[in-house]
Amino acid sequence: MAPRVDLLGTGNAFLPRGRLHSMALLDGQHLIDASPTALVALRRAGRSPADLRSVLITHLHGDHVFGLPFLLLERKYISDREGVKPLRLVCAPGAFERVRHLCDLAYPGSLDGMLAEIEVVETVSGTLEGGWTWSRFEVHHDDAVDPHGYRFIHETGATWLHSGDSGPCPALEAEIASVDFAVVEMGVPDWVATEHHHKPNDIVALAARHPSIRFAITHTFADDEGPGPEIINPPLPAMPENVHLARDGDAWSWTGDVWVAHLKDSA
């Protein structure tokens, strides 16, 4: 199977219209973040939670990890009742204990056995099924939630990264320069006073500095099409040609030479 990245959700914590929380799925079996809407996102994509081999955590804010108790509970009682499907949790040192506490708050005692069986990987690099190696790097966000991004290299030569929830920072910029495709989170409009998130004009500048790299922008604050009233839909600056403002369901696959987009509008 060709390497593939599916954006199951593209919204920030406030769930703009038409978007689930931001999550990415690598090759159908490695989930980057497990948001509160993880189960519905997997259902919409036709994926079973039992098919997941890994969950990689970028940081510990609720919109990125609060889906873990529901994901584990579903596997225990629905999709992997026999408990035969192994699961790996990739995270920064100490993060697993906070995940354990979260699960105990959500379902006291119910997930203890499952948590004991999870393979916890806290190293800064490793491998994943399907021919991938990965490395984790620190990014600029709230230090209290251990913010990181991930860079991935495939045995076919495909490279890509996930920024995590980061503002502009030298560490992320250096990693972006080493890949062909970058999923970058853009959490707030330009008028919000913060350094912990990319803003639209940050993305414009970033893409201009790296014109050969393709960018998919996720974790956005802006509404998409969908039912219900407008939530927030400020005007966005014109984006460079190498930037795509992603929608739920967009995907990219590796042809052996380039990453090719499979977009929701053209599906």
3-class DSSP string for the chain = CCCEEEEEECECCCCCCCCCECEEEECCCEEECCCCCHHHHHHHCCCCHHHCCEEECCCCCHHHHCCHHHHHHHHHHHHCCCCCCCCEEECCCCHHHHHHHHHHHHCCCCCHHHHHHCEEECCCEEEECCCEEEEEEECECCHHHCCEEEEEEECCCCEEEECCCCECCHHHHHHHCCCCEEEEECCCCCCCCCCCCCCHHHHHHHHHHCCCCEEEEECECCCCCCCCCCCCCCCCCCCCCCEEECCCCCEEEECCCCEEEECHHHC
pLDDT tens digits for range 69-81: 999 999 999 999 9
Q: Where does the pLDDT of residue 234 fall: very low under 50, low under 70, confident under 90, or very high at 90 and above?
A: confident
Contact 140, 147 (CB under 8 A): yes
- The whole-number pLDDT of residue 266 equals 56
Q: In which order are the strands placed within the sheet that holds 119-121?
A: 119-121, 88-90, 54-56, 30-32, 23-26, 4-9, 251-254, 259-262
* Nearest alpha-carbon partner for 11 in 21, 26, 23: 21
Q: Which CATH class is domain 4-266?
A: alpha beta
Average pLDDT, the chain: 96
Position with higher pLDDT, 198 vs 234? 198
For the chain, the domains span 4-266
pTM higher than 0.85 for the full model? Answer: yes
pLDDT tens digits for range 166-191: 999 999 999 999 999 999 999 999 99
pLDDT tens digits for range 145-168: 999 999 999 999 999 999 999 999
- The whole-number pLDDT of residue 267 equals 45
With a pLDDT cut of 70, the percent of the chain lying above it is 99
pLDDT tens digits for range 79-124: 999 999 999 999 999 999 999 999 999 999 999 999 999 999 999 9
With a pLDDT cut of 90, the percent of the chain lying above it is 95
Residue 137 has pLDDT above 90, yes or no: yes
Q: How far apart are CA 265 and CA 169, in angstroms?
A: 32
